[in-house]
Amino acid sequence: MKLRCLLLIWLLLTIIYGCTSVKSWERGTLAKPQMAQEPTPLQSVIRAHIYSSREAAGTAGAAQGGGCGCY
């Protein structure tokens, strides 16, 4: 029980230590396109459109067609 409590405290401290604010000189590095969650947002939109138009079931996409890929 004591070991579990110590591990929990250690885990919480490491999580809190990892939360920090970004310095002003580090923001340029984080603003690069390579650091984006989706490096090519336009390509992701196109893939989502193609996937949703070829699926027979309705998805969150705007275009919905038959399962054959027809528009």
CA nearest to 44, candidates 52, 54, 56: 52
> Containing domain of residue 50, as a range?
40-71
Within a domain: residue 68? yes
Q: Give the model confidence (pLDDT) of 58-71 as tens digits.
A: 555 555 555 565 55
pLDDT value for 37: 79
Number of structural domains the chain divides into: 1
Q: Are 43 and 33 in contact (CB under 8 A)?
A: no
| Residue 47 backbone phi and psi in degrees, to 5 | -65, -40
Domain for residue 53, yes or no?
Answer: yes
Query: pTM above the 0.85 mark?
Result: no
So what's the pLDDT on residue 70? 58
By percentage, how much of the chain surpasses pLDDT 90? Answer: 15
Give the Cα separation of 65 and 23 in Å (integer): 48
pLDDT tens digit string along 17-34? Answer: 877 888 888 888 888 878
In whole angstroms, what is the distance from residue 45 CA to residue 63 CA? 12
